[in-house]
Amino acid sequence: MTRKYDQIIVIDIECTCWEKLPPPGMEADIIEIGICPLNPFTGERLERRSLIVRPERSTVSPFCTQLTTLTPEQVAQGVSFVEACNILRYDYQTRRRVWASYGDFDRQQFERQCAAMGVAYPFGASHLNVKTLFTLLRARRHDVGMAEAMQQLGLPMEGAHHRGGDDAWNLARLLAVILLERRGTIPGGDISG
């Protein structure tokens, strides 16, 4: 299968979560997949999308709603995890394109949930960990969260933090700045779109 480098599919997920340990018999489920395709050559963000995913192994706790603003009623109307993976695979060609997330959590959660539920993993082998990339290119001694990385680059956060669609949109901007800054091609020092 030939890889495509025309876009990087930037992903941010939100999962069911609890203040402490999950209740007995529950495992974290992906409840939102934020998607923002990024043109790696121009830095243009091509779409801001949020897929709400219906949890199948857990429920949305009050703590989770407070963190993400997603309610049990909202996620009950979401697509199945299988449908969400199919949307990634077919609409965004994630098996052929590089995909990116901030850290390894999103990749590991997809791997765990796909294995546990017998769902085909929707991505290819090309995962870009933006947290590691930022840390190395900025010569930092330790990594920081996405909000802190945005602040260090002077980039305002748009939308609500801990909402997948907004976080993917912000992460795509962060990645665009890192890539284009490294190449010395930031037009006017600003990345918009």
How far apart CA 126 and CA 117 sit, in angstroms, is 22
pLDDT band for 164, please (50, 70, 90 cuts): very high
CATH number for position 112: 3.30.420.10
Which residues form the domain of 123? 4-189
Residues 46 and 114: their CA atoms lie apart, in Å, by: 27
**56-115 tens-digit pLDDT:** 999 999 999 999 999 999 999 999 999 999 999 999 999 999 999 999 999 999 999 999
Q: Provide the domain count of the chain.
A: 1
In the block, tokens 């992906």 appear at 30
Task: Tell me the mean pLDDT in the region 172-176.
Answer: 97
Position 38 pLDDT exceeds 60: yes
- How many angstroms separate the CA atoms of 169 and 150, rounded? 12
pLDDT of residue 185: 57
Amino acid 70: pLDDT:
98
